[in-house]
Structure 1
């Protein structure tokens, strides 16, 4: 509990610092920072984390479950959009639909999932969390997520542009490069600075959340964010969490996967919203509120899935 409190003091502190900077710095800074993270920060952090990962053991089930969670979130999100259009006459604009679906699909399994998993479970099953994120969430966010973002973008419509957006996606290229780099013994100083850069990217992502939060003029996106968070952080982990024994996952291993599924929307949703001009307010509201909601949902998952 002490580790968890220390963790969230740091997270909240960085978001608040970003909020303050967002009030003082020019409006172009958050957009440029988002582009930097998409093209440089995220790819290099993937290389760094992948280089340090122990790939031994039965850990390949983690990304398979991640894909199930992503597709279930997308399905429930699509049903939520149709339900609102049919019963509440609330027809969401395409950029809002894109951010809504992304927030319901992919979780913050890296920037929040890693430290939360380490604080609660420790290092024994960390490889499960890492594979869930790198082979599951990362590929889902920057593969299917990029396709969806391009589809709902106001400037990208046809198949050619969507395919191009996926092919040139730097996160996917960096994942392949990271696998190759694992076969090479890089100098210790290079490894050290690569690791520091990766965790700096984590800090910058939290700063960007704070910056975007400072630009919100209203909380009109809160109802949509609430629906997407209900799908992402409650329905998906509840539905899939109790099926994990059928995949051979029980005890602490199952808890690690549930924690990853229960994370708030991924920072990638904001990066993609920045890059493809989706609903930025909805993306940052879902991230900000989801991070707060996590403080209240964590005890639920520990109660349901902890073993002694």
Structure 2
């Protein structure tokens, strides 16, 4: 209840706001209408300013000692395992798969929402909290984020129906993607937070940053609710169920067993298991739109996995909360 109460309240508030906007806002079906613009502008605010500043605020209270380098290693291991499992399933299936559908399926199995929903889950759990936020941050910033706009973009470009301009050299494509990752505000905030951690800020500024960071957690949950309220496609439910099962059952179980064998336990292990089991990333929708993948399958995976989180969280807490 300590976890589901705030998460449920934030998501339900976003769903309710979306329902109200759908009923009362003019031009609800047009891109310029409030129904479409509110989540779009809130997402941009969170991406460019809100989440980066919240990272700085939480990092000042997070314990960044220990083997934090293990988090991105685990993240990349989970991403590659998700890609492998998705490719094996596609090969084993007797039915033909269109290449855009293959791309959306693999992205859903690989990449999770370790930012907008992963951060609040780690921060709100009483057995975790701000002190182990560094593990979640390293997992997301150096793992999922780079995986989404690095390996994820490469996969999407290969599988997408919209082929890239052949005149553009591979080196130029790669350098463009690399610049996009380096300029990402979350990566910049990551570096800024590391630099400011050792600097003594005025008490009022430090407290304001911390309170602002918690407000951003609430807004992130509301954005999740707004996006869920706008989901309208539930096609390809069978394939979406398989992708979500890989992402939210196979990957966290593999991470949990692997870390246990390596002797990693306690809160760091639980953080990485939960991050590995987060719902399918909203970045999958961005990649699906940009590279002309199977958008219906991507939308279905996001909606199904978001609902499944309520059932998978207790499973991992029960299985791996102990020492």
The equivalent residue for 1:101 is: 106
- Quote the residue 2:234 is aligned against: 219
What residue ranges of structure 2 are gaps of 5+ in the alignment?
32-36
The aligned runs of 1:1-308 (5 Å cut-off) are: 2-17=1-16, 19-20=18-19, 23-24=22-23, 26=28, 27-28=30-31, 29=37, 30-31=39-40, 34=43, 37-84=46-93, 87-93=94-100, 96-117=101-122, 118-123=124-129, 125-152=132-159, 154=162, 156=164, 159=170, 160-169=172-181, 170=184, 171-186=186-201, 191=206, 194-195=209-210, 198-199=213-214, 201-273=216-288, 278-307=293-322
* 1:99–1:269 CA contact under 8 A, matched in 2: yes
Alignment deviations for residues 234-266 of structure 1 (CA, whole Å, 9 cap, x no partner): 111222321213332124443332222222123
CA distance in 2, matches of 1:98, 1:41: 30
CA RMSD of aligned residues (A): 3.4
Secondary structure at the aligned position of 1:58 is classed as: coil
Query: How far is 1:200 from its partner?
Result: 5.2
Superimposed CA distance per residue, residues 80-99 of structure 1 (whole angstroms, 9 cap, x where no aligned partner): 33344xx1123242xx4443
Q: CA deviation at 1:206?
A: 4.2
Give the length in aligned residue pairs. Answer: 303
Question: Could you tell me the TM-score, scaled by structure 2's length?
Answer: 0.76
Tell me how far 1:187 sits from its aligned partner. 5.0
Superimposed CA distance per residue, residues 127-153 of structure 1 (whole angstroms, 9 cap, x where no aligned partner) = 433332333323333443344445555
**Pair member with larger Rg:** 2
Q: Distance in 2 between matches of 1:260 and 1:194?
A: 24
Q: CA offset at residue 231 of structure 1?
A: 0.7
Gaps of 5+ in 1: none
1:232 deviates by: 0.6
- Shift in CA distance, 115/240, structure 1 to aligned 2, threshold 3 Å: same
Aligned residues of 1:63 and 1:133 also touching (Cα < 8 A): yes
Kept after mapping to 2: 8 A contact 1:34/1:271: no
Between stretches 103-112 and 139-148, larger displacement belongs to 139-148
Tell me, yes or no, if the aligned pair for 1:59 and 1:131 is still in contact at 8 Å.
yes
Distance in 1, matches of 2:271 and 2:15, equals 28
Given that residues 53 and 130 in structure 1 are in contact (C-alpha distance below 8 angstroms), is that contact kept between their aligned partners in structure 2?
no
Question: Which TM-score applies when normalising by structure 1?
Answer: 0.79
